[in-house]
């Protein structure tokens, strides 16, 4: 059994790892959208299949993961660090986005992460898995709508964006469930 000091050190280490991964999703999403996919639209995004007959801009994979990582940063490092990470992430998104996508990328990131935060925070202490799923779904809807409208003036890829991000959230749930079980077993309280 770990001591309280050892549990706190582990919580902080994990939080820092989640924070770094969260920050890395931002430039990676912006790079993917312009450089990687099975089909790249001229003056538009590179697309990937997310379901039979359904394509989405390739950056959706990282945005789905970012929403879950934001929740994990809050669970490990607390609300203050999380709000700072959201603001820094929006600035980073504006800095690394392709010029045509700067406003869309930064606004979508900021608004979706704040929506995720607003839903996750009241739910997390009672029902962690539900909090992650529901807050991520709210965040991915906000991100998809804001980004597509500001970037392309169209909702043509909305279904693909939602499905692609939802896949990434669902793939992360086993990790969140494992962390919750481990935390409960060790007595490690969230931040």
Other C-beta atoms lying within 10 Å of the C-beta of residue 54: 16
- pLDDT score of 174 more than 70: yes
Rounded Cα distance, 143 and 180, in Å:
26
Per the DSSP assignment, residues forming a β-bridge with 47 are 39, 57
Q: How confident is the model at residue 189 (pLDDT cuts 50, 70, 90)?
A: low
**Residue given tokens 């379901």 in the structure block:** 51
HEC per residue, 85-124: HHHHHHHHHHHHCCHHHHHHHHHHHHHHHHHHHHHHHHHC
Q: How confident is the model at residue 190 (pLDDT cuts 50, 70, 90)?
A: low
pLDDT tens sequence across 47-90: 999 999 999 888 888 988 998 999 999 999 998 998 898 888 88
Q: How confident is the model at residue 185 (pLDDT cuts 50, 70, 90)?
A: confident
At a CB cut-off of 8 Å and minimum separation 6, what does 173 contact?
Answer: 129, 132, 133
How many angstroms separate the Cα of 86 from the Cα of each of 81, 82, 153?
9, 6, 25
The residue-averaged pLDDT of 25-47 equals 85
Q: b/e for 97-117, b at 16 or more Cβ within 10 A?
A: beeebbebbbbbbbbbbbbbb
Mean pLDDT of the chain: 88
Rounded Cα distance, 177 and 77, in Å:
18
Rounded Cα distance, 101 and 109, in Å:
12
Contact assessment for residue 1 and residue 179, using Cβ atoms and an 8 Å cutoff: no
Rounded Cα distance, 186 and 80, in Å:
25
pLDDT tens sequence across 90-139: 888 777 777 777 888 888 888 998 999 899 999 988 888 999 999 999 99
């Amino acid at each position: 059994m770990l001591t309280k000091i050892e549990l706190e050190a582990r919580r902080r280490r994990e939080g820092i790892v989640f924070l770094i991964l969260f920050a890395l999703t931002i430039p990676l999403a912006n790079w993917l959208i312009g450089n990687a996919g099975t089909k790249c639209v001229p003056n538009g995004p590179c697309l990937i299949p997310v379901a039979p007959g359904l394509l989405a801009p390739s950056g959706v994979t990282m945005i789905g993961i970012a929403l879950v990582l934001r929740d994990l940063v809050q669970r490990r490092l607390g609300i203050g660090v999380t709000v700072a990470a959201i603001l820094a992430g929006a600035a980073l998104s504006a800095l690394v986005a392709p010029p045509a996508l700067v406003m869309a990328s930064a606004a979508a990131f900021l608004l979706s992460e704040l929506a995720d935060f607003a839903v996750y925070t009241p739910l997390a202490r009672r029902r962690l898995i539900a909090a992650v799923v529901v807050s991520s779904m709210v965040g991915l809807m906000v991100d998809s709508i804001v980004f597509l409208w500001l970037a392309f003036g169209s909702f043509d890829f909305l279904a693909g964006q939602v499905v692609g991000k939802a896949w990434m959230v669902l793939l992360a749930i086993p990790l969140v469930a494992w962390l919750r079980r481990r935390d409960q077993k060790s007595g490690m309280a969230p931040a």
